[in-house]
Chains A and B, each alone.
Chain A
Amino acid sequence: MILFIVLWVALSPLGWLVTDAMNMTGAPASKVMEEIQQTIQVFTIVSMPLCAFVLAVLLYSLFGWKHVQGDRPKFESPAIRTNRVGVGLWVGATSVLALFLVGWGLVELAQITANAYGTIPSDEQPDDEKPLIVNVTGQQWVWTFEYPEHDRVTSAQLYLPVDRPVYFNVTSKDVIHNFWAVELGVKIDANPGAITQTGVTPNKIGTFNVRCAELCGLHHAYMQTKIRVVDNDDFNSWVREMGGQKTS
C-alpha cells in the first residue's frame, strides 16, 4: 500500500516532464496544440495510479511476499482461485478509466475539429479574420505552399499571420507524405490523387517546424522546412514582397 502511494507520487511528475519535452521548440503555438497537451496531461494523471499499482504488486511480489530459490523447493501458496471484490474493483476501475478516456477523447476530438475549421461562418467575418487558405503540396522531397487568395504566391516556407484561422488543402504529387506542423499540432497525410483538409489558428509568433512524418523515399529525413508565424502587417508585406496582392 505504502509502496503504491510512493510509486504514484514518484510517477506523478511524468505528465509535466512529457509536456516539457514537447515544448522544447516553442510549442504550443495554437489552440489545437494546447488541447492535445491537455489531453496528454489528463491521460497521464489518470493512468498513473493504475501503473503505480501494478508496479507496486510486481515489486512487492519479489521483495515483500516470500521468495525461494534452489532446485525443487517444497512449498505451496494459498490457493486463491478468485476474489469477487478484487476482480470487481479491477474490472470496475479499468472500465471506468477506459470509458472516461474514450469520452474525453471523443469530446476533445470534436473540439479540435471545431477549432481547426473555425465555427463562425466565414462570410460574416471581417477581412482579417477570414480564414487564410494555403494549398500544401508535398513532392519528393520538398514542401510547396501556395496562397490562392494572394495571386497564387508560392513559397518553400510556410508564412502564417498570427491569430487568423488558416485552412490547409494538402495533396501530393508523387507518393504519400505527411504534413506535420509540429508545434501547431497539425498533421495530415498528403495523398497523391486526393486532397485532404485541415486547419489551425496559430496564436504565437515565432519560427516553427514542418516535418514529413511518412516515409517517402530516399531523402525523407530532409523533407522539412520552417513555419514563420508573423503578425498581420508583416504577413501582408511579405505577400507583397513575393508579388501578391494584400488579399484577393
Chain B
Amino acid sequence: MTIAPPRTTRRSSTTSRTSSRTGSADAARANRGGAGLKQDGGGRGGSGAVARVFGNPVPQPPQHGKPGGLLRHLNLGTALLLGSVMALGFGYLANRLTKSGATDATFAPLAPEYIYLAGLFGWTLGFSIGIGAFDGPVRWLLGRELTHADAEYLAGKNLGWQRYFKYTTDHKVVGIQYLVAAMVTLGFGGLLAMLIRTELGVTWAEVFTPSIYNSIIGTHGIAMIIAMIVIVMGPVGNFIVPMMIGARDMAFPRLNALSLWLFVIALVCLISSLFVGGVQDGWSVYQPLAAQSPPGMLGYQMTIIIFAISTGVASVNLIVTILLMRAKGMTWVRTPIFVYGVFGAAIMGLYAFPFYQYSQLLAMSDRILDTSFFVPLQGGSVWLYENLFWLLGHPEVYVILLPSTAIMLELMPVFYRKPLFSFNFAIAGIVGVVALSGLVWAHHMYMTGWAPSANYPFMLSTELISIPVGFLVLVAIGTMWRGTVWTRLPVMAIYALVFNKIIGGITGIYLSDVPVDQYMHGSMFVVAHFHYMLMGAGLFGAMGGIAYFFPKMTGRMLDERAGSIGLWTAFAGFQLTFGSMFVAGLQGQPRRVLQFDDLFNISNWLSTIGAFVIGLGMLIFMGAIISSWIAGKKAPANPWGSKSLEWQTPTPVPLENFEVLPVVTSRPYDYGVPDPYDAKMLADEKAREKQTAKVAV
C-alpha cells in the first residue's frame, strides 16, 4: 500500500505544528467533513474564537471554564468511590424496604436478592457517573458545545499516564485499556481453569464442594467467553483499525470510551457474583436450573445485560468507522483483510447480542418480578430460553474466531513477503461465515427434543459453514505456498492457529452431524472441540496478533525469546490437555462433572498435567509482555517492514495518527517478486529460447 503525498507537510512546518496539537476527536470531525462543521460554527459565530484544526480555521463555541470541564476532576478513583458508595447506599435502601422474612415462591429468602440487585444497579450507576459517562449528554442538554480545547482534553492530550485512568476518547488509549482489561479477565478465567483441572485431576477426593465447583465452572466459562470476545476486537480493533484505514480516530470517540468502561463495570459485576453464591449453572445458565441458584445469578444477568450494551456500542462504532472513515482511495478491494474480519464480527455482534440480553432480562424478571417466561410449571418454556441463548451462542463463536483468523491473514503477507493468496476468497469466506452464522444456532439443541424435524435443515446449514471456513484455511496455506518465511514470534502463532483450527474444524463436522452428536452431545468431546476452536484458534491467533502489533501499541519490542517459549509451551500443553479430553469424551464422560468413573482417570490426569503446562506457558508469555512493556527495546516505527497504513505512523503514535491524511493508490499486500513459475512467465521464458532456467526461487 502506498501513500500518495508522503512528505508534503515539510513545506508548511508552521501548519503542521499547529495541527499536531489538535485533539483527535475534533480531528476526526474535521477529517470527515470540515466544511460542514465550519458552516455550523459560522452560523453561530458569537464568541468569535477560532481554532486552527489541521490548518483550517474552525469557529469555536464559547468556552465554559477550563478545557475538559467536570471531566478534569473525574477518573477511575472517583468512579470506584462513587460506584462503591452508591452500591452500598442502594443496598442499604433495598434492605430497609424489603420486609424481613419475605420469601419467594420456592421459600428462598428474598432480601439477599434485592439487596444484591440494588447494589449492582448502584455500582453501575455510580461508576458511570464517577467516570464521567454522563458528562457528554448533560453538557449537550445544557447547550454547551465542546470546544476544540475541550475535545483535546477529552482525548487525553498532555495528560501523560493519567489518561489511561480517565474517560479518554483517544482510540489508542481505549485500545490499551482494553488490552489490560482483557488480559486481566483472561488471567482470572485461566486461574479458574486451573482450579477446575485440579479438581478433575484429583480423582480420589473432592477438592471443592459441588456448589463451589459448579460456580467455578460457570464463571470460568463466561469470563473466558467475554475475554475472548474483547481480546482482539478491543485492543487491536480499537487501536489499529482506525490507523489501518487511515483515520484519525473512531467515528464516535465518546462511545468508544463508554464501551470500554461498561466492559469494566460488567467485569466487576461478574467477579462480585462469586461472593454471593456464584454462577452455578455453566455459562449457558439454562432455565429453570438457574432459577434455583443463589443470588450470584443476578450478577451474571447484570454482567450480560451491561456487556451486551458495551458490545453493541462498540460494534456500531466499528461499523460506522469502517464504512465512513476509510482514507481516500481505500476502496473495498484496497481494504486490508483484518478490517473485513472486524467488520464481519461487529455485524454479528450487533445482531446476536440483543438475543442474549433479552434472554437475561426475561430471566431476571422471572427471578425478581415473578413473571414466568421460563417457568414450566406456569406455562413458560425452557426451549424458548435455549433458543434465545443459542441465537447469541453460535454467532458469538464467530465473533471470537473471525478477528483472530483475520489478524493472522493480515500479518501473513508481511512475514512471507508475498501478497495474500486469493484475496477474493478470503472475503468470500468472511461473508459466508457471517451470512450463515445466524442460521445454525439450533445445532446446540439437537438433543433437546425441541424440534426433531428441524435437525435436518440445521445439520445442513451447519455443515455448509465448513465451506467458507475452508476458504480461510485455503488463503492461509496458499499464502504459505512456496514462500520464504521470516520466523518471528507472530508468524509462529499462525502455525499454531491453523493446526488447532484444522482439528477443531474436523471435530466440529463430527458434532454438527446429528447421529454423531447423539453420542457426543454434552460430553467432554464437545468441551475439547470448542476449546480447540476458541482457545486453540482464537487465543493463539490473538497472541500472534498482540505480538505483531506490540511494537506499535507500546512502542517497545516484545521479548521474542521468552514469548516463543511461552507460546510453544502453551501449545504443547494445549494438545495434551484437550487431546486427552477428546478421549475422555469418546469414552463417555459427560461435561461439567465433578467425579467420574475410574475409566476416565488416565485421560483426566493427562489433561490436568497439560493444563498446568498451559498455565506455565501463558505465565511466561504474560511475563514476556509485561517485562517488554516496561523495559523492552525501543521499537522503530515499522519493525516488520509492513506496507499497510498503520505502520506508516511514527512510534509512539501521535494523537492525530497522521499529520496528513494518507491517500491509498494500490491494493494491499503489494509484496513479493513476480512468480517465476507463473504461466505467463514460463511462456516468456520459453520464448527467450533455451536459456537454462536459472530463475531465482
The answer to whether A and B come from one shared complex is yes
> If the complex has contacts A79-B672, A79-B674, are A175 and B292 also in contact, measured as CB distance less than 8 A?
yes
Nearest CB in chain B to that of A53: its residue: B477
Which residues on the B side are within 8 Å of A83 (C-beta)?
421-422, 478
Contact with A along B284-315 (1 / 0, CB 8 A): 00101100100000000000000000000000
Determine the distance from Cα of A81 to Cα of B474 in the docked complex, in whole angstroms.
13
The reply to whether A186 and B518 contact each other, CB–CB distance below 8 Å, is yes
> If the complex has contacts A75-B484, A212-B590, A213-B521, are A192 and B382 also in contact, measured as CB distance less than 8 A?
yes
Determine the distance from Cα of A72 to Cα of B418 in the docked complex, in whole angstroms.
15
Which residues on the A side are within 8 Å of B480 (C-beta)?
57-58, 61, 65
CB of B42, distance to nearest CB on chain A (Å): 49
Q: Is A215 an interface residue (CB 8 A)?
A: yes
Determine the distance from Cα of A175 to Cα of B229 in the docked complex, in whole angstroms.
30
Q: Is B210 an interface residue (CB 8 A)?
A: yes
The reply to whether B518 and A101 contact each other, CB–CB distance below 8 Å, is no
The reply to whether B422 and A87 contact each other, CB–CB distance below 8 Å, is yes
The reply to whether B587 and A22 contact each other, CB–CB distance below 8 Å, is yes
CB of A65, distance to nearest CB on chain B (Å): 6
The reply to whether A65 and B485 contact each other, CB–CB distance below 8 Å, is yes
> If the complex has contacts A79-B675, A217-B292, are A21 and B587 also in contact, measured as CB distance less than 8 A?
yes
The reply to whether A55 and B595 contact each other, CB–CB distance below 8 Å, is no
The reply to whether B521 and A54 contact each other, CB–CB distance below 8 Å, is no
The reply to whether A25 and B599 contact each other, CB–CB distance below 8 Å, is yes
The reply to whether B292 and A80 contact each other, CB–CB distance below 8 Å, is no
Q: Which of A103-111, A122-130, A151-159 contacts B (4 or more CB under 8 A)?
A: A103-111
Which residues on the B side are within 8 Å of A76 (C-beta)?
417-418, 671-673
Q: Which of B93-101, B339-347, B462-470, B624-632 contacts A (4 or more CB under 8 A)?
A: B462-470
Nearest CB in chain B to that of A86: its residue: B478
B interface, how many residues as a size bin? Answer: 35 or more
The reply to whether B286 and A54 contact each other, CB–CB distance below 8 Å, is no
The reply to whether B484 and A192 contact each other, CB–CB distance below 8 Å, is no
The reply to whether B523 and A213 contact each other, CB–CB distance below 8 Å, is yes
Q: Is A10 an interface residue (CB 8 A)?
A: no
Which residues on the B side are within 8 Å of A163 (C-beta)?
none
> If the complex has contacts A72-B641, A182-B588, are A80 and B211 also in contact, measured as CB distance less than 8 A?
no
Which residues on the B side are within 8 Å of A80 (C-beta)?
418-419, 421, 478, 481-482, 672, 675, 678
The reply to whether B588 and A209 contact each other, CB–CB distance below 8 Å, is yes
The reply to whether B515 and A90 contact each other, CB–CB distance below 8 Å, is no
The reply to whether A58 and B498 contact each other, CB–CB distance below 8 Å, is yes
Q: Which of B322-330, B448-456, B645-653 contacts A (4 or more CB under 8 A)?
A: B448-456
CB contacts under 8 Å to A, within B198-212, are: 210-211
Determine the distance from Cα of A215 to Cα of B213 in the docked complex, in whole angstroms.
12
Could you list 12 A-B pairs, sorted by A, with CB under 8 Å? A54-B473, A68-B487, A81-B421, A82-B421, A91-B471, A106-B459, A109-B455, A113-B452, A174-B288, A185-B519, A192-B382, A209-B597
Interface of A toward B, CB cutoff 8 Å: 18, 21-22, 24-25, 32-33, 35-36, 39-40, 43, 47, 50-51, 54-55, 57-58, 61-62, 65-69, 72-73, 75-83, 86-87, 90-91, 94-95, 98, 101-102, 104-106, 108-109, 112-113, 170, 174-176, 178, 180, 182-183, 185-189, 191-194, 196-198, 209, 211-222
